[in-house]
Structure 1
Amino acid sequence: MPAIVVKDLSKTFEYYKKEVGLRHSLTNLYARKKLYKEAVNKVSFEIEEGEIVGFLGPNGAGKTTTLKMLSGILYPSAGEASVLGYNPWKRQKAFKRQFSIVMGQKNQLWWDLPASESFHLNKAIYEVEDNQYMRTLGELTELLEVRDLLNVQVRRLSLGERMKMELIAALLHNPKVLFLDEPTIGLDIISQRKIREFLKQYNQARRTTIILTSHYMEDIQFLCKRTIVINNGSVVYDGDLARVNDTLGDRKVIKLQLEEPVEVGRFRAYGKIQSYDGIYVHIEVDRTQFKSCAQSLLANFPVVDLTIEDIPIEEGIARLYERGVNTDASTSMENVR
């Protein structure tokens, strides 16, 4: 049985139009124009136990709203969801003991107290036994290399150290499902790598089901084999991360280094010019034609170096964002799974 099942989940927010000025403020006391924002629109997917799934989308796509519904923070406008067999928005005590959510831009730790004080509070909230608490705390602080920082005020920790403490607070009760909303935002490269390595090791050891949102493709590529892409509140891709570009057509990029400048118009017959500075040229071509294109380029231009590459995953994801909702998304998703 899947750990998470989502079917036609939707969320619409209501708000009111407010124009500038005192007159409009007084008018709004008696007659306000109600507006609607469809944040999530009929999102459906299933996630198996132990999977780490990347949940991608541009700002405002509906990622955080979806995670909040799956954790019971928000009540949906329509649709169904099951997490570990529970209805999240019923907020049953047994359910709340089995999941955690970490939001990179929100703190759960007390700012002026050492992290250890917040950990003790979580221990009491989740009714964690003393032996289990000490064992789990010891394992997590050792893995994240923060044992010497437990009694330091949270506000005196670096951003990377605080995020490590946030993860420990979220994992003290050994949740079976973990929702991570941009856990590496703002962190330096080294801190990001350590967080990624910790999450991968933790998942392998505990088989915790994880949904990860991030704008750093390094996080997604390192941790997630499967990716769900959401845009304008709807799923536009669900499948293997490595096959994102398959949904956009088979394309290759030919990268040229020239011995001397060549007029850019001469390359347009081969494909789409991605970049050109006179010496270096990147041309996007159809996969079925890249061999003949490469041979022709070598024969007709002063080429010093030529390489052929797949379109970067980051660019494939960006194109999915730009394309918006794919009316044939269900078909494309079945083809890439």
Structure 2
Amino acid sequence: MINWARLAFQRLTSDQRRTADTHLLKVCIPGLEGIDIYLKDESTQPTGSLKHRVARSLFMHAISSGKIVKDTHVVEASSGNTAISEAYFAKLLELPFTAVMPRNTSQSKVSMIEAFGGRCHFVEDSSQVYDAAQALALEYGGHYMDQFTYAEQASDWRSEDSIAASIFRQMSSEAHPVPHAVVMSAGTGGSAATLGRYIHYKGMDTKLIVTDPENSVFYDSFIKKDRSLTEANGSRIEGIGRPRVEASFLPEVITSMIKVKDQLTLATMYWFEELTGRRVGASTGTNLYGVLEVAAAMKARGEKGSIVTLICDDGSRYADTYWNLEWAMNKVGDFKFEAEELRRYA
């Protein structure tokens, strides 16, 4: 078993060294002169999303803790991106893998999980994924990875290979090297925890602004300082928002939060395509709307500076959902009014 663990760490470390950095893109927004907007492009990771870093950390954490050994069947509760990345690493380590996810997860994500040799187990509602994943792991004699509990523990926020360190290193030669704010949406809360901890660790003045979609409990929990809150409905923005406060969500490192209407998320996605010619995923739309809110407040105060956010994944994964206008209108609602509101930034 020790020899297998050594080989596993070698393969995981090799992947980390090959893929440690991603591009930081500067985007010019005509209505926000004097405020520089940057997007850390995590869609260029080998598995196409921010969750590539998280999944690798979760495997390292579980193997070093003795939870995963040779032939362990790994089970995860995920709406897609984490499962895709974990399926990739499970294949790399020659481990069986099952993802538990809501039935409405986009077909493109399901296909990618299966392409890496993983299998998908569907539940009707996002609130059911936890119990179903635990039950399957017990049935298989395997390990429930549980990203919602361990994402913030597994991520090495002090490492110079972390996403936070990468952002600030890449910003060092820009006009405003210390960002006014970093804007990040919350799924598990792990990425926001990494960013917030690093900002505190380095003693920076940068604010961490966390965006949250409708039908998610994080925002209300942050405002009310109550971790016991739950939400009956699941988020319509795939990959972010949760019906309960996850263990990886650390409100103490967050400066403030912004609640984003789902129609505004979609309107921002379509507006960004008009601006740049690029399609991004829905969670990135939530991030970008938060950036616009922060930037508009800075402009109103006569401030200049920089704001950083993340491209969590590419829009191609949502060709049959959010980027299908008929589907989007039916599932989320008409967002023509919100789209018109964004034209002030054109």
Q: Which has the larger radius of gyration?
A: 1
* TM-score, normalising length: structure 2: 0.25
Between Structure 1 and Structure 2, which shows a larger proportion of strand residues? 1
Between Structure 1 and Structure 2, which shows a larger proportion of helix residues? 2
* TM-score, normalising length: structure 1: 0.26
